[in-house]
Structure 1
Amino acid sequence: MKLIKYTHACVRLEKEGKVLVIDPGAFSESEEALNGAHAVLVTHEHNDHIDQPAVLAALRQDPKLQIHAPAGVAAALKENGDVAGQVHSVEPGSAFDAAGFSIRTFGGQHAVIHPQIPVVANIGYLVDDNVFHPGDSFVVPDGISVQTLLVPINAPWSKVGEVVDFVISVRAPKAFPVHDGLLNELGRGVVEGHVTRIGARYGTTYSKLAPRDSVEV
């Protein structure tokens, strides 16, 4: 399976001619990522994880394209009646198929940013028992060994120690960055240095990916 990283939280997975896109947000090259996609997964409603105009345009362009998202996101998309049949609500603790990719869901809640900022639903997705995208949370999948971890390395809701502890807790053999759009290179070096060094002690090899870089996983 080929993994292509886009700016910030978006990734594209390609396998046997099928394309799955996770979190095509407004900070990402969402239209490019969605080109030719067969299915889309959205972790939560924040616009850095779903570029709604781009997603709606993709759904209208390809009536076969399917999107899976938490109930609130799905309801907002379904308000556009012409695409309602392509939109599916997802709950944590479920399993389904999306364009030939097997999906399992975890979590349910966005990490707390501040007590005065409402918490929204957040779904973490495990794809083909391999790639795990947690969205905006540090939920650790239970009962499964993740092979490829997508690490939110910087966010308004996290600190470096929590990022490192997440990598340690999941203990995936391979890890790559997501949610890095707010970092400059100096800040990235600080976070990635700790993740690389300490993660290696627990069996995780962390590798940097720039936007549009790809890797086989």
Structure 2
Amino acid sequence: MKLTKYTHACVRLEKAQRVLVIDPGTFSEAEEALAGAHAVLVTHEHNDHIDRPAVLTALRSDASLQVYAPAGVATALKEAALKETAREEDVARRIHAVEPGSEFEVAGFHVRTFGGQHAVIHAQIPVVANIGYLVDANVFHPGDSFVVPDGITVSTLLVPIHAPWSKVGEVVDFVISVRAPKAFPVHDGLLNELGRGIVEGHVTRIGARYGTTYERLSPRESVDV
């Protein structure tokens, strides 16, 4: 399976000429990532994880595209589609609500869901739903959380290496807890090179002690996983 990283939280997975995109947000090259996609997974409602106009445009352009997201996101997308015209009912039918602890097949990919809650930013900022996705028992994207999938082994971990809701120690502990052989960064759009070097240095050094090899990916860079 080919994994391509886009700016910030978005990744594109490809196998057997099928394409699945996770979190095409406004900080990412969403339209580019969505080109030719067969399925989209959205972890939560924040704009850096979903570019709503881009996703709706992709849904209208491809009658086979399926979108999976937490209930609130799915409902908002359906309402936005139906405001345009009644003919958008087909678009709305291809938007699906998902909950933690579920499994489904889409576009030739097997998906399991974990978590349920966005990490706390501040006590006065409401917590929203967040779904972590495990694709083909291989790639795990946690969204904005450090939820550790239970009862499974993760082969490829996507690590949120910087966020308003985290600190470096929590990032390192997440990598240690999951213990995936391979780890790559996501949620890095707000980091400059100095900050990135500090975080990645700790993740690389300490993660290696627990069997995890961390590798930086630049936007649009791909790797086989």
Aligned length: 217
| Partner residue, 1:184 | 192
Task: Give the distance between the partners of 2:126 and 2:35, measured in 1 at CA.
Answer: 33
2:71 aligned with 1:71: yes
Q: Following superposition of structure 1 onto structure 2, how do residues 191-210 of structure 1 map, counting pairs within 5 Å? A: 191-210=199-218
One-letter identity of the residue aligned with 2:102: S
2:42 aligned with 1:34: no
2:13 aligned with 1:16: no
Q: Which runs of 4+ in 1 moved over 6 A?
A: none
| Partner residue, 1:2 | 2
Where 2:130 maps in the other structure, the secondary structure is: strand
Q: Following superposition of structure 1 onto structure 2, how do residues 158-169 of structure 1 map, counting pairs within 5 Å? A: 158-169=166-177
One-letter identity of the residue aligned with 2:47: N
**Normalising to structure 1: TM-score of the pair?**
1.00
Where 1:60 maps in the other structure, the secondary structure is: helix
Structure 1 residue 98 displacement after superposition: 1.3
Where 2:197 maps in the other structure, the secondary structure is: helix
Q: Following superposition of structure 1 onto structure 2, how do residues 37-48 of structure 1 map, counting pairs within 5 Å? A: 37-48=37-48
Structure 1 residue 210 displacement after superposition: 0.2
Where 2:158 maps in the other structure, the secondary structure is: strand
| Partner residue, 1:136 | 144
Structure 1 residue 75 displacement after superposition: 0.1
Task: Give the distance between the partners of 2:149 and 2:175, measured in 1 at CA.
Answer: 12
2:180 pairs with one of 168, 172, 184: 172
2:106 aligned with 1:98: yes
Structure 1 residue 152 displacement after superposition: 0.0
2:56 aligned with 1:56: yes
Deviation digits for residues 26-56 of structure 1 (CA, Å, limit 9, x no counterpart): 0000000000000000000000000000000
Of all paired residues, the percent bearing the same amino acid is 82
Task: Give the distance between the partners of 2:203 and 2:106, measured in 1 at CA.
Answer: 31
One-letter identity of the residue aligned with 1:95: E
1:86 pairs with one of 76, 81, 94: 94
Structure 1 residue 14 displacement after superposition: 0.2
One-letter identity of the residue aligned with 2:101: G
One-letter identity of the residue aligned with 2:13: L
**Normalising to structure 2: TM-score of the pair?**
0.96
Structure 1 residue 63 displacement after superposition: 1.2
Task: Give the distance between the partners of 2:214 and 2:161, measured in 1 at CA.
Answer: 11
Unaligned runs of 5+ in 2: 83-87
Where 1:155 maps in the other structure, the secondary structure is: coil
Q: CA RMSD in A?
A: 0.3
Structure 1 residue 93 displacement after superposition: 0.1
| Partner residue, 2:163 | 155
Deviation digits for residues 47-89 of structure 1 (CA, Å, limit 9, x no counterpart): 0000000000000000110000000000001111212011000
Task: Give the distance between the partners of 1:183 and 1:157, measured in 2 at CA.
Answer: 14
